Amino acid sequence: MTILFLLLTVSFLFFYFTTCASGFESLISPTGLLKYDKSKTYDGYTLFSPMRECTTTYLINMEGNAVHKWETEFPPGLHSTLLENGNLLIGSSLKKESPVLIGGLGGKVQEYDWDGKLLWEYRMCSDTEVHHHSFWRMPNGNTLLLGFESKSQEEALAKGRKPGTFPDEVIPHGPEGPPTGGKNEEPGEDAPPPPKPITHFWPDFVREVDEKCNVVWEWHAWDYIGEGPDKLDINFKLPDPLGGPYPNFDWTHFNTVSYIPETDQILLNSRNFSEFYLVSYKTGKIEYRWGNPSAYGGGKRPEWYDDGDQKVFGSHHVTRLDNGNFQIFDNGSERPEGNRSRVVEVDPKSGEVVWEFQSKEPNNFYSYRQGAAQRLPNGNVLVTSSVHGHLFEVNQEGEVVWDYINPINLGKPVCKLEDGPTANMIHRAYRYSKDYSGLQGKDLSKEEVLAPGCPEFWKIYEIYRDTSILSET
């Protein structure tokens, strides 16, 4: 490494890590690990599945090197988790077979062992239903899946949808790229067909299946249409400028599902309604909701440059914390008072936000779609800013202590990002402690650098912190 290169890199890192007057924004962004404060991070391994043109899932150490990989049959649809037995549970994307093209499509959930052998799968992809976004392995071994189900315009009108509030059809489009996630694909035998016009409503439902793929429980948003806090208003819709199916046929657009054994409730999150729900597993009733009271006539709806009573915008990945509070990734997209993302912790008893993290400069942290946040045992939060493939760990004081940019760009390792947002996209990442049961007895000693030959910025930053380097140059 030449002295000139080192000085230039040090200068870049100085502004990146220390400036407070303005945010960091670059047209060519470096990849890999940018910061690692060993004394303040939660030590462990981070799992993520790059979404674009990639069928590899990575488990990396704190220095950003892969200690294990899984090669899967399909690209992720949309994320993966490491089970307590060491198996990988992953959503799989069947976009070419999907009956509708709406953001977040999966089609199948698969379980692989540590060595990559397929052990179990459940397919939900037909003319009338398709799995999307999320899944959850329950304590009894069963698996919850989110799904879209097809309902005609006539059925929607019969349920109370006001005539004239939706077009005859829409052509799907959005920020997540072409149907297969490819880039500038040429027509050919393997090229995806043109997107089919969407003419039906695709409301959400939840399905529970057992180890033999038998359906043992379901919950359908369609069964809870009505007015009031325990119902879903079929006439609530996003503003038309949002475009495509979102304000029309993609009605609720759930993106999170999990089970809370302590309360026997299903936890759901709706991006379009911008609120999360607690649903009774026993009765199916919506017992609690938070985020947007205007969705059920309980508050002021947002207007021009006024958030109204809405608390989050386009939210994702709600989780229940050990203290009984809930944590949400608030995308802050299409927010009247200005786009920005943040992570918030909500006390369900008071409905108040008791902790939040957002960047001082919105350019530093903004994912207009997708996103996730995992509360770690030491109180830190691992944040997935999906659109830019950006993972970072922040402590309760709001200090970023670990900062990582996914170097897998359209399926290939790169030192810098030049293909724009979503090229290195990650829907959701998880950090696992070194004593996690799923990692016991596994050989994690072999490290693989994901982007060989690229500068290791975090190490250069450590050198910079020792100011003696300046006197040497």
For the segment 29-52, the average pLDDT, to the nearest whole number, is: 95
Would you say residue 178 lies in a domain? Answer: no
| Contact (Cβ atoms closer than 8 angstroms) between residue 401 and residue 395 | yes
> Percent of the chain beyond pLDDT 90?
76
Instruction: Summarize pLDDT for 250-262 with one digit per residue, the tens.
Output: 999 999 999 999 9
| Number of domains the chain is built from | 2
**Are residues 449 and 460 located together in one domain of the fold?**
no
| Contact (Cβ atoms closer than 8 angstroms) between residue 327 and residue 321 | yes
Pairwise CA distance, residues 56 & 412, whole Å: 11
Residue 108: per-residue pLDDT: 98
Which position has the higher pLDDT, 242 or 18?
Answer: 242
Would you say residue 192 lies in a domain? Answer: no
Pairwise CA distance, residues 327 & 376, whole Å: 12
Q: What is the mean pLDDT of the chain?
A: 89
**Are residues 20 and 102 located together in one domain of the fold?**
no
Taking CA atoms, 22 is separated from 7, 16, 100, 120, in Å, by 22, 10, 42, 50
Whether the pLDDT of residue 200 is over 90: the answer is yes
Would you say residue 190 lies in a domain? Answer: no
Whether the pLDDT of residue 398 is over 70: the answer is yes
Instruction: Summarize pLDDT for 400-412 with one digit per residue, the tens.
Output: 999 999 999 999 9
Q: Dihedral sign, CA of 402, 407, 410, 412?
A: negative
Largest CA distance in the chain: 78
For the segment 15-22, the average pLDDT, to the nearest whole number, is: 44
> What range does the domain containing 342 cover?
32-173+198-453
Q: What is the 3-state secondary structure (H, E, C) of the chain?
A: CCHHHHHHHHHHHHHHHHCCCCCCCCCCEECEEEEECCCCCCCEEEEECECCCCCEEEEECCCCCEEEEEECCCCEEEEEEECCCCCEEEEEECHHHCCCCCCCECEEEEEECCCCCEEEEEECECCCEEEEEEEEECCCCCEEEEEEECECHHHHHHCCCCCCCCCCCECCCCCCCCCCCCCCCCCCCCCCCCCCCECCECCEEEEEECCCCCEEEEEEHHHHECCCCCCECCCCCCCHHHCCCCCCCCCCCEEEEEEECCCCEEEEEECCCCEEEEEECCCCCEEEEECCHHHHCCCCCCECCECCCCCCCCCEEEEECCCCCEEEEECCCCCCCCCCCEEEEEECCCCEEEEEECCCCHHHCCCCCCCEEEECCCCCEEEEEHHHCEEEEECCCCCEEEEEECCEECCEECCEECCCCCCCCECCCEEEECCCHHHCCCCCCCCECCCCCCCCHHHHHHHHHCCHHHHHC
Residue 367: per-residue pLDDT: 94
Instruction: Summarize pLDDT for 318-357 with one digit per residue, the tens.
Output: 999 999 999 999 999 999 999 999 999 999 999 999 999 9
Task: Please state whether the predicted TM-score (pTM) of the whole model is above 0.85.
Answer: yes
Whether the pLDDT of residue 150 is over 90: the answer is yes
Would you say residue 181 lies in a domain? Answer: no
Instruction: Summarize pLDDT for 350-393 with one digit per residue, the tens.
Output: 999 999 999 988 888 999 999 999 999 999 999 999 999 999 99
Whether the pLDDT of residue 237 is over 70: the answer is yes
For the segment 234-249, the average pLDDT, to the nearest whole number, is: 85
For the segment 227-256, the average pLDDT, to the nearest whole number, is: 90
Would you say residue 187 lies in a domain? Answer: no
Confidence of residue 9 (pLDDT cuts 50, 70, 90): low
**Are residues 98 and 16 located together in one domain of the fold?**
no
**Are residues 41 and 116 located together in one domain of the fold?**
yes
Q: The CATH number of the domain where 70 resides is what?
A: 2.130.10.10
**Are residues 20 and 90 located together in one domain of the fold?**
no
**Are residues 52 and 21 located together in one domain of the fold?**
no
**Are residues 360 and 264 located together in one domain of the fold?**
yes
Would you say residue 191 lies in a domain? Answer: no
**Are residues 2 and 83 located together in one domain of the fold?**
no
Instruction: Summarize pLDDT for 80-108 with one digit per residue, the tens.
Output: 999 999 999 999 999 889 999 898 999 99
Residue 468: per-residue pLDDT: 52
Residue 418: per-residue pLDDT: 82
Pairwise CA distance, residues 411 & 181, whole Å: 11
Whether the pLDDT of residue 4 is over 80: the answer is no
**Are residues 18 and 81 located together in one domain of the fold?**
no
Phi, psi of 235 (to 5 degrees): -100, 5
Would you say residue 183 lies in a domain? Answer: no
**Are residues 205 and 317 located together in one domain of the fold?**
yes
**Which positions ≥6 away from 397 have C-beta within 8 Å?**
none
Would you say residue 246 lies in a domain? Answer: yes
Confidence of residue 419 (pLDDT cuts 50, 70, 90): confident
Whether the pLDDT of residue 74 is over 70: the answer is yes
Q: What is the dihedral of CA 161, 163, 169, 170, to 10 degrees?
A: -70
Closest C-alpha among 375, 134, 125 to residue 267: 134
**Are residues 96 and 3 located together in one domain of the fold?**
no
**Are residues 15 and 64 located together in one domain of the fold?**
no
Taking CA atoms, 66 is separated from 47, 243, 381, 401, in Å, by 10, 39, 21, 20
Whether the pLDDT of residue 167 is over 50: the answer is yes
Instruction: Summarize pLDDT for 282-293 with one digit per residue, the tens.
Output: 999 999 999 999
Q: Which of 142-146, 179-183, 215-219, 418-422 has the lowest mean pLDDT?
A: 179-183
Q: Dihedral sign, CA of 141, 147, 150, 153?
A: positive
Residue 26: per-residue pLDDT: 66
Closest C-alpha among 362, 320, 325 to residue 342: 362
Token digits of residue 294: 């205007």
Q: Which of 4-8, 231-235, 332-336 has the lowest mean pLDDT?
A: 4-8
Confidence of residue 240 (pLDDT cuts 50, 70, 90): confident
Residue 287: per-residue pLDDT: 98
